Chain A
Amino acid sequence: DAGITQSPRHKVTETGTPVTLRCHQTENHRYMYWYRQDPGHGLRLIHYSYGVKDTDKGEVSDGYSVSRSKTEDFLLTLESATSSQTSVYFCAIRGGQGEGEKLFFGSGTQLSVL
């Protein structure tokens, strides 16, 4: 157990509303990531963070913003949700040295935008 908690686990929202997903870790890891998973696309990186207030874009960042004001929390915000953002969202943290510094994943958030 890598100590990652995602909330909420499920959310249904309407087009045009803002949505914030939370990732909380208890391991004090520096690197945190947000991925989305869609059929046929595997997992695609939205944003990542390499420290408090240090974030960068991934390959599918349009329509998303992130914030990291504390080491343990990494927030993903959909500024104005669209149906194309219906997806499963995974938070991940990067492990220490060994096994390539693999990622540990949270349980995912199923988001439906109607």
Chain B
Amino acid sequence: AQKITQTQPGMFVQEKEAVTLDCTYDTSDQSYGLFWYKQPSSGEMIFLIYQGSYDEQNATEGRYSLNFQKARKSANLVISASQLGDSAMYFCAMREYFKAAGNKLTFGGGTRVLVKP
């Protein structure tokens, strides 16, 4: 079973609108972290936001927020007021802290976002 599932391979969003990128995860651990990375066409991986499994509040970072629903094992990324520069691939990732290889990130397959002017 995949640990990180991103069901939306690609999506369009109108400039200035909000967009939600889905991410569900699978773990039996109680202690884990969830990450979102952005990969523009230039190829670099850019960290966006982090949510710890014990964090009671949803993480926010500027126009990015993480809608964390622990019982449903989902960690959706919300981008508000989309900009043309938001066009990129977005990856959800998870770290399980008590695994033997607890220092690695496991990534989902990614969602490509194209912002239309």
Contact = CB atoms under 8 A, between A and B. Distances in A.
A45 B106 contact: yes
B33 interface: yes
A61 to B, nearest CB: 12
B50 A94 contact: no
Nearest to A58: B104
Q: What is the size category of the interface that chain B forms with chain A?
A: 20 to 34
A49 B110 CA distance: 25
Given A41-B109, A44-B107, A100-B33, A105 B45 contact: yes
A52 B109 CA distance: 31
In order of increasing CB-CB distance, the 8 nearest A-B pairs are: A100-B33, A42-B107, A105-B45, A100-B50, A43-B107, A99-B50, A42-B109, A102-B47
Nearest to A100: B33
Contacts of A44: 107
Interface of B: 4, 6, 9, 33, 35, 43-45, 47, 50, 52, 91, 93, 95, 101, 103-110
A88 interface: yes
A102 B35 contact: yes
A81 to B, nearest CB: 21
- Residue from A43, A56, A108 with most neighbouring chain B CB atoms (10 Å): A43
A99 B47 CA distance: 10
B109 A90 contact: no
Nearest to B110: A42
A50 B103 CA distance: 9
A104 B110 CA distance: 18
Contacts of A33: 104
Contacts of B107: 35, 42-44
A108 B46 CA distance: 13
Contacts of B4: 42
Given A43-B91, A102-B50, 16 more contacts: A42-B4, A42-B110, A43-B45, A43-B105, A45-B105, A48-B103, A48-B104, A56-B101, A88-B43, A94-B103, A100-B33, A100-B52, A101-B103, A103-B45, A103-B47, A107-B43
